[in-house]
Amino acid sequence: MTSGAPQPDVSTGSPRSVPDLGRRVAARRRELGLSREELAEATGSVPGFVQYIEENAAAPGMGVLLRLADALGTTVPELTGATSDQPPGGGRAGADARLRELNQTECHSLLGRTGVGRIAVTTREGPAIVPVNYVMSGEDIVYRTKAGSVPAAAVGAEVAFEVDRIDDAFRTGWSVLAVGKGQEITDTDRIQALDAQVSDLAWAGGHRDLWVAVRPHRLTGRTIENALRPPPS
């Protein structure tokens, strides 16, 4: 057994430690648009128990974990964080898999629900792609960075911005690509509104006072579908 990620205890049928379980259950539940009541019904439990799981460092038995994973359309390793250090997409392809182009409405919807994307820019050293935390502000993709950084190279340049989601449990995924020109946001009122909306936007921390907006003039996307799971909604 490797250290770090929680491992099942074969003697008791429950994980030894699942400190991240509550956050992962809550995040997956919200991603699927389920209430605590709906998840409780799907797992044969009561809403109070789901709340307890999400808000406490609980260590439920393997039977509970299996029911939670099934109701949330994922796996026990995903819920307990055992796969958190592994790159996504390592599983085998799903049956009857096919690639479908996303329409503009689907692209906008998916772009609006995600908080981390990748900005592709050209720097003095050559092409670079880096992840950034972002929000949607009207039609604009907006992120905060600092002057002289790689993401700051988007200002005044044609750039590409990509977001995606991989679901290993169902062997599905989607990606959306936006192409547009980056611009520095200089309007004081807009900056104040963005600062108030997302004061802690950048996970990396540090002082970042340069707001960049990318308004796409080309938006495309693709999704992988298979017999296990319907298209994203």
User: Which of 137, 141, 166 is CA-nearest to residue 151?
Assistant: 141
In a shared domain, residues 71 and 117:
no
Across 55-67, average pLDDT: 81
For 217-233, how does the pLDDT look when each residue is reduced to its tens digit (9 = 90+)?
Answer: 999 999 987 765 554 44
In a shared domain, residues 144 and 60:
no
In a shared domain, residues 20 and 125:
no
**Per the domain annotation, does 59 fall within a domain?**
yes
**Per the domain annotation, does 113 fall within a domain?**
yes
In which domain, by residue range, is 113 found? 98-225
In a shared domain, residues 73 and 146:
no
Ranges 83-97, 137-151, 198-212, 219-233, most confident: 137-151
In a shared domain, residues 106 and 67:
no
Of 80, 107, 129, the position where a domain reaches its end is 80
**Per the domain annotation, does 47 fall within a domain?**
yes
Bridge partners (DSSP) of residue 145 are 210
**Per the domain annotation, does 221 fall within a domain?**
yes
Ramachandran angles phi, psi of 86, nearest 5°: -100, 140
Q: Whole-model pTM above 0.75?
A: no
In a shared domain, residues 117 and 74:
no
- Mean pLDDT across the chain: 80
Q: Which residue has the higher pLDDT, 31 or 169?
A: 31
**With 60 as the cut, is the pLDDT of residue 150 above it?**
yes
In a shared domain, residues 17 and 72:
yes
In a shared domain, residues 108 and 220:
yes
Yes or no: say if 165 and 221 are a contact pair by the CB < 8 Å rule: no
- Residue 126 Rama label (left phi>0; alpha psi -120 to 50; beta): left
Residue 26 and residue 28: Cα distance in Å, rounded? Answer: 6
Ramachandran angles phi, psi of 173, nearest 5°: 180, 170
The structure tokens 């439990």 sit at 45
In a shared domain, residues 67 and 161:
no
Total count of domains within the chain: 2
Per-residue confidence band for 199, with pLDDT thresholds at 50, 70 and 90: low
For 104-119, how does the pLDDT look when each residue is reduced to its tens digit (9 = 90+)?
Answer: 999 999 988 768 899 9
CATH number at residue 51: 1.10.260.40
**Per the domain annotation, does 92 fall within a domain?**
no
**Per the domain annotation, does 139 fall within a domain?**
yes
Residue 71 has a pLDDT of 87
**Per the domain annotation, does 93 fall within a domain?**
no
Residue 209 has a pLDDT of 84
Q: How big is the chain by its Cα radius of gyration, in Å?
A: 20
CA-CA distances (angstroms) from residue 149 to 144, 146, 186, 203, 207? Answer: 11, 6, 18, 15, 12
The DSSP call for residue 229 is B
**Per the domain annotation, does 90 fall within a domain?**
no
Yes or no: say if 79 and 24 are a contact pair by the CB < 8 Å rule: yes
